């Protein structure tokens, strides 16, 4: 009998009474590894009820005690790292070393959350008026929720719930139903770390679960990471329901290759940034914009050579560079974009559409693909392919390259490879993108900064995790207080206080 993955509600593992399930596949073999229970509206409402009941006690728990739970949680994550990475590999296909990197970046967000007493200190001003003091404090919102994607089942949830929880909220997580096991296991570790029942729940599911979270008046905020069309829809619906919302969408990340760039370094860096995780990263560098004919020819030649030695295969062979894409349907989508680029006039320099991995012939593998002479009108350029595909656009000037990036609907991440400090500074100041790298191809902010793009890559005012995360999961209250001196009585004053 196939194992069914349930939900974590009120500190207990439960299955949905409707018995709706969905298959979970091992993308390296194409075989069903287990099934996941899909939560009904009733199940989601039960999780919300448990969270609402736990909230008064948790919000009144001292920040230092909340932080101690996170310290223990961090230790458990490190002790169970190998098992977590195995679960990620089995359901996502991510190679073990890549999964370890993902988990470490998630742990860094837990470490940041351990600073809750400092993060929540607020502000204080003495004697703003005669015997009047004023201060601001940051109070939790209540029940909040997160909806996370398949490509980072460990890291992206940890962008959300550690901070939300140490800020005094109760959190309901709806992870991707495609690879739920590692996320659920991590949530169980949080319970083991001493988190009270109901403070953290996991409901696996599909649109029914998402709609239940968005429509519930008890859920005060929604965090989302996924594709732009869904991000925009969730932001609109959550806002219409009076919720605070941050919805991170898709990306088309460009790297400008200047004529003076260290070409060997640029090729090495972009090889990992374009093809790591099979390109299934919202920060994947999927477009190289080469400035000048010589830079373009040199880059394409060196990148072609570098791609010949890439190893594609299953997750537990550490010498592999990347694994399969998440599903058969997604493989067909990626291959479709590659074929459309060729049909629309681009040159396929390295074709990964016909790859076959020995012993894993039914897996969802797409090999590293390099496409030259791409133009902005092509479908493959406009869309987020989300696969191991690097496209090359050739331009004559840096201004042309920057205009290309600024004109794109997405503004998530970008970088420039150059030795020219003036060019790098001009690029950083004037590019219309939220996360910028200079000779750094994946400029993902560390945990004590915040992650987020511009334009249609982010809906909402606050970025994810870091200082913006604290602000997102709290509401400011300002208190102005006077204790008049004994025996003094003030008369009536109709003027506005100053």
Output the DSSP codes for 101-125: HHHHHHHHHHHHHTTHHHHT--EEE
Answer left, alpha or beta for residue 130, where phi above 0 means left and psi between -120 and 50 means alpha. Answer: beta
Question: What is the predicted pLDDT for the residue at 19?
Answer: 82
Per residue, the 3-state secondary structure of 128-164, as one string, reads: EECCEEEEEEEEECCEEEEECCCCCCCHHHHHHHHHH
Buried b (16+ CB within 10 A) or exposed e, 66-93: bbebbeebbeebeebbeebbbbbbbbbb
Question: What is the predicted pLDDT for the residue at 487?
Answer: 66
488 located within any domain? no
Among 165, 183, 151, CA closest to 114: 165
160 located within any domain? yes
Question: Same domain, yes or no, for 242 and 265?
Answer: no
Question: Same domain, yes or no, for 235 and 270?
Answer: no
Active-site hit among 167, 170, 282, 415: 282
Question: Same domain, yes or no, for 467 and 322?
Answer: no
Question: Same domain, yes or no, for 52 and 128?
Answer: yes
pLDDT by position in tens, the chain (length 498): 579 999 999 999 998 877 899 999 999 999 999 999 999 999 999 999 999 999 999 999 999 999 999 999 999 999 999 999 999 999 999 999 999 999 999 999 999 999 999 999 999 999 998 889 999 999 999 999 999 999 999 999 999 999 999 999 999 999 999 999 999 999 999 999 999 999 999 999 999 999 999 999 999 999 999 999 999 999 999 999 999 999 999 999 999 999 999 999 999 999 999 999 999 999 999 999 999 999 999 999 999 999 999 999 999 999 999 999 999 999 999 999 999 999 999 999 999 999 999 999 999 999 999 999 999 999 999 999 999 999 999 999 999 999 999 999 999 999 999 999 999 999 999 999 999 999 999 999 999 999 999 999 999 999 999 999 999 999 999 999 998 777 666 778 888 877
Residue 414 sits at the vertex; the CA angle it makes with 412 and 417, to the nearest 5 degrees, is 175
Q: How far apart are CA 236 and CA 11, in angstroms?
A: 32
Residue 122 sits at the vertex; the CA angle it makes with 48 and 222, to the nearest 5 degrees, is 25
Which two structure tokens, joined as six digits, stand for 407? 């004109």
Question: Same domain, yes or no, for 162 and 221?
Answer: yes
Question: Same domain, yes or no, for 228 and 261?
Answer: no
Q: Where does a domain end: 383, 406, 438?
A: 438
Which two structure tokens, joined as six digits, stand for 42? 């009733």
39 located within any domain? yes
Q: Where does a domain end: 438, 468, 491?
A: 438
Question: Same domain, yes or no, for 272 and 232?
Answer: no
- CA distances to 212, 279, 338 from 367, rounded to whole Å, are 39, 10, 11
Residues near 399 by beta carbon (within 8 Å), at least 6 away in sequence:
none
287 located within any domain? yes
Q: How far apart are CA 439 and CA 258, in angstroms?
A: 11
Distance of CA 208 to the CA centre of its chain: 22
Question: Same domain, yes or no, for 420 and 474?
Answer: no
- CA distances to 13, 33, 193, 194, 342 from 69, rounded to whole Å, are 20, 33, 6, 6, 54
Residues near 7 by beta carbon (within 8 Å), at least 6 away in sequence:
13, 14, 15, 16, 37, 39, 43, 47, 201, 202, 203, 204
Question: Same domain, yes or no, for 211 and 274?
Answer: no
Residue 375: count of CB within 10 angstroms of its CB: 14
105 located within any domain? yes
Q: How far apart are CA 214 and CA 241, in angstroms?
A: 7
- Compute φ and ψ for 104, nearest 5 degrees: -60, -40
Question: Same domain, yes or no, for 463 and 335?
Answer: no
Alpha helices in 373-420 (DSSP H): 379-382, 398-407
- CA distances to 73, 283, 401 from 424, rounded to whole Å, are 40, 20, 13
Q: How far apart are CA 496 and CA 498, in angstroms?
A: 6
**How many structural domains comprise the chain?**
2
Residue 14: count of CB within 10 angstroms of its CB: 17
Question: What is the predicted pLDDT for the residue at 471?
Answer: 97
132, 478 Cβ separation under 8 angstroms: no
- Compute φ and ψ for 357, nearest 5 degrees: -100, 125
| CATH code of 403's domain | 3.40.309.10
405, 432 Cβ separation under 8 angstroms: yes
Question: Same domain, yes or no, for 85 and 210?
Answer: yes
Question: What residue numbers bound the domain in which 183 lies?
Answer: 4-249+457-479
Question: Same domain, yes or no, for 278 and 360?
Answer: yes
| CATH code of 199's domain | 3.40.605.10
Residues near 45 by beta carbon (within 8 Å), at least 6 away in sequence:
212, 216
Count the helices and strands in the chain (H runs, E runs).
Answer: 16, 23
405, 254 Cβ separation under 8 angstroms: yes
Active site residue 245: no
222 located within any domain? yes
97, 318 Cβ separation under 8 angstroms: yes
Q: How far apart are CA 391 and CA 11, in angstroms?
A: 47
Among 336, 349, 345, 332, CA closest to 378: 345
Residues near 465 by beta carbon (within 8 Å), at least 6 away in sequence:
109, 112, 159, 160, 163, 447, 450, 451
492 located within any domain? no
Rg, C-alpha atoms of the chain: 25
448 located within any domain? no
């Amino acid at each position: 009998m196939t194992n069914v993955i349930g939900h974590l509600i009120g500190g207990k593992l439960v299955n949905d009474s409707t018995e709706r399930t969905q298959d979970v596949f091992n993308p390296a073999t194409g075989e069903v590894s287990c099934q996941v229970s899909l939560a009904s509206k009733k199940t989601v409402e039960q999780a919300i009820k448990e969270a609402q009941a736990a909230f008064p006690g948790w919000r009144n728990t001292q920040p230092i005690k909340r932080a101690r739970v996170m310290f223990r949680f961090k230790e458990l994550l490190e002790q169970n790292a190998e098992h977590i990475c195995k679960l990620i590999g089995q359901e996502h296909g991510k190679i073990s070393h890549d999964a370890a990197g993902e988990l470490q970046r998630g742990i860094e967000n837990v470490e940041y959350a351990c600073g809750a007493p400092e993060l929540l200190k607020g502000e204080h001003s003495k004697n703003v008026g005669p015997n009047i003091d004023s201060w601001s404090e940051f109070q939790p919102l209540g029940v909040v929720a997160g909806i996370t994607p398949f490509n980072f089942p460990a890291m992206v949830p940890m962008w959300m719930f550690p901070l939300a929880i140490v800020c005094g909220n109760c959190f309901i997580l709806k992870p991707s139903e495609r690879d739920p096991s590692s996320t659920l296991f991590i949530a169980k570790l949080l319970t083991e770390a001493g988190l009270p029942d109901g403070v953290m729940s996991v409901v696996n599911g599909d649109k029914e679960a998402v709609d239940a979270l968005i429509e519930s008046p008890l859920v005060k905020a929604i965090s989302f990471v996924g594709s732009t069309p869904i991000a925009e829809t969730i932001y609109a619906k959550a806002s219409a329901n009076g919720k605070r919302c941050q919805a991170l969408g898709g990306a088309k990340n460009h790297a400008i290759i200047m004529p003076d760039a260290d070409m060997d370094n640029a090729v090495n860096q972009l090889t990992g940034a374009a093809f790591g995780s099979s390109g299934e990263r919202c920060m994947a560098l999927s477009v190289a914009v080469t400035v000048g004919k010589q830079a373009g020819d040199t880059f394409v030649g060196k990148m072609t050579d570098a791609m010949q030695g890439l190893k594609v295969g299953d997750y537990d062979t550490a010498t592999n560079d990347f694994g399969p894409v998440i599903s058969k349907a997604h493989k067909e989508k990626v291959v479709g974009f590659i074929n459309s680029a060729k049909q629309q006039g681009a040159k396929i320099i390295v074709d990964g559409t016909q790859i076959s991995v020995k012993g894993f012939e039914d897996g969802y593998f797409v090999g590293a693909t390099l496409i030259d002479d791409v133009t902005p009108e092509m479908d493959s350029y406009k869309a987020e392919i989300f696969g191991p595909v690097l496209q090359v656009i050739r331009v004559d000037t840096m201004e042309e390259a920057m205009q290309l990036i600024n004109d794109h609907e997405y503004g998530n991440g970008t970088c420039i490879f150059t030795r020219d400090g003036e060019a790098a500074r001009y690029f950083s100041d004037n590019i219309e993108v939220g996360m910028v790298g200079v000779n750094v191809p994946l400029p993902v902010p560390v945990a004590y900064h915040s992650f987020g793009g511009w334009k249609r890559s982010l809906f909402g005012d606050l970025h994810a995790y870091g200082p913006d995360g604290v602000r997102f999961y709290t509401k400011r209250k300002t208190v102005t207080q006077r204790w008049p001196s004994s025996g003094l009585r003030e008369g009536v004053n109709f003027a506005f206080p100053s």
